[in-house]
Amino acid sequence: MITTQRMENGFEYLEIRNAAAEAKIASQGAHLFHYRRHGETPLLWVSATSPFETGTAIRGGVPVCWPWFGMSSDPALPQHGFARTMMWAVEQTEEIDADTTRVVLRLAPSEATLKLWPHRFALTLEITVGAVLSMSLTTTNADDRPFTLGAALHTYFAVSQIADVRVEGLEGRPYFDALTGTRHRQEGAIGFAEETDRVYQEVDGAIRLVDGTRTVTIANEGSASAVVWNPWIAKCSRMSGMAPDSYLTMLCIESANAMEDVRTLQPGASHTLKAVIG
Ligand code: BG6
């Protein structure tokens, strides 16, 4: 079942419920902010203090960072692009079978997007909600000159206790440490005991988030980079939409096209960044 819901302040989202799972997707940003398989706890973390309001990105779920990741070369432009705060249109909804629902949302170029990024494009996010969650972000260059694209499906995972989780699958990969501006190579699994903000490169296999007895697998396509981020105590207490202890129960593992992994699209060419989470 797919229904359109409105919060008291008019903030609109789609609610999906099928035999396997349930999900909520805001029209603003095509922002998936809830996904839960029946009988399990929610997979995504969303801040209890995040405002759901026009023009502010929801703190949690899966913000879509597009058409750049992080800061643009123009510091006046918004971090992580503009797709996460713009209104998307629902283009298609489909109940594939009792367990699987598919939704396609579209962001079209407008005066507002052209002011921020002077390129014509077609952009869709296809979200499949079932026993597995999949998200495919497809960009087409609808302009007459090439453009370079950065992106991320900036997934906030809910974890039981950050100090007890580890991330596997990035062993041996080079990474950029955004806190120190230095480059390293990952040794062993990643554990968390301090602020962590890294862009991994040469990512070519599934990433696993191991949290006690629960292991979540993130398999990416059209992506060779992944961001692993936890703000820890100090940054968490000064960030918008976060409570001081939010860092304890969230971890971002972002399926990305970041840094060396940005993509240049020729006119007419398309690129799909896909994350399959199970
Ligand atoms: C991560 C970055 O991807 O996003 C962090 O690596 C950043 O440095 C975080 O703090 C959240 O960004 P924002 O723009 O949603 O506050």
Please state the domain extents for the chain.
2-159+231-277
Beta bridge partners of 118: none
What pLDDT was estimated at residue 249? 98
Residues belonging to the active site: 154, 254
Cα 199 to middle of ligand 1, angstroms: 11
What pLDDT was estimated at residue 170? 98
What pLDDT was estimated at residue 254? 98
The residue contributing the CA closest to ligand 1 atom 13 is 79
pLDDT tens digits along 87-128: 999 999 999 999 999 999 999 999 999 999 999 999 999 999
The residue contributing the CA closest to ligand 1 atom 8 is 197
Those residues with Cβ within 8 angstroms of residue 187's Cβ, 6 or more apart along the chain or in another chain:
171, 172
Q: How far apart, in whole angstroms, are the C-alpha atoms of residue 31 and residue 103?
A: 12
Cα 70 to middle of ligand 1, angstroms: 7
Question: What stretches in the chain show pLDDT beneath 50?
Answer: none
Q: How far apart, in whole angstroms, are the C-alpha atoms of residue 167 and residue 243?
A: 24
Residues in contact with ligand 1 by the CB-under-6-Å rule are 79-80, 154, 178, 197, 227, 229, 254
Beta bridge partners of 28: 87
What pLDDT was estimated at residue 213? 92
Q: Which CATH number fits domain 2-159+231-277: 3.20.20.370, 3.40.50.620, 2.40.50.180, 2.70.98.10?
A: 2.70.98.10
Q: How far apart, in whole angstroms, are the C-alpha atoms of residue 159 and residue 156?
A: 9
The residue contributing the CA closest to ligand 1 atom 9 is 229
Instruction: Check: pTM over 0.95? Answer yes or no.
Output: yes
Cα 18 to middle of ligand 1, angstroms: 32
Residue among 68, 79, 177 to mutate when testing ligand 1 (max atoms within 8 A of CB): 79
What pLDDT was estimated at residue 35? 98
The per-residue b/e assignment along 256-276, b for 16 or more CB within 10 angstroms, e otherwise, is bbbbebbbebeeeeebebbbb
String of DSSP letters for 222-266:
S--EEEEEE-HHHHHHHSTT--TTGGGGEEEEEEEE-GGG-EEE-
Cα dihedral 100, 220, 245, 12, rounded to 10, equals -40
What pLDDT was estimated at residue 258? 98
What pLDDT was estimated at residue 225? 98
Residue among 45, 50, 80 to mutate when testing ligand 1 (max atoms within 8 A of CB): 80
The residue contributing the CA closest to ligand 1 atom 15 is 59
